[in-house]
């Protein structure tokens, strides 16, 4: 299986890296934004800044979790197509074929069990 994964990456690095960029860039931007707000936040002034920081940090966490789940699923679809000898789906086709709800539910259960 690792050999097929390496083969997919060698054949289509733009697809693998592009999917990573599309799915992982938003949480990075949200996390950097939250960090920037924290650095500029004045603890002596209680205003909506606290809510904005917490909301942005929570958004970054959710996007990271969902992005990781979807990216893993996309890679599974791409590598699976190589193993089966089937035509490789586009990234959007791979995303649409994933049981997103079940994957997010499984991730939440795992997070609760680990936590």
> Can you count the helices (H) and strands (E) in the chain?
5, 0
Mean pLDDT computed over 18-38: 81
Q: What is the pLDDT of residues 8-23, one digit of tens each?
A: 778 878 878 888 888 8
Q: How far is CA 21 from CA 14, 57, 83, 96, 103, in A?
A: 10, 20, 24, 18, 20
- The answer to whether residues 23 and 92 touch, using CB atoms and an 8 Å cutoff, is no
The pTM score is 0.67
The continuous run of DSSP H or E covering 67 comes out as helix 49-84
The SS3 assignment for 79 reads helix
Please give the pLDDT value at position 28. Answer: 83
Is residue 43 scored above 70 in pLDDT? no
């Amino acid at each position: 299986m690792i050999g097929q994964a390496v083969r997919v990456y060698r054949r289509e690095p733009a697809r693998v890296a592009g999917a990573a960029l599309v799915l992982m860039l938003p949480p990075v931007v949200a996390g950097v934004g939250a960090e920037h707000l924290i650095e500029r936040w004045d603890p002596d002034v209680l205003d909506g800044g606290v809510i904005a920081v917490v909301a942005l940090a929570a958004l970054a966490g959710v996007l990271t979790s969902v992005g990781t789940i979807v990216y893993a699923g996309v890679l599974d679809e791409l590598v699976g197509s190589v193993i089966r000898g089937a035509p490789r789906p586009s990234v959007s086709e791979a995303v649409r074929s994933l049981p997103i709800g079940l994957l997010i539910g499984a991730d939440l259960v795992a997070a609760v069990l680990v936590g």
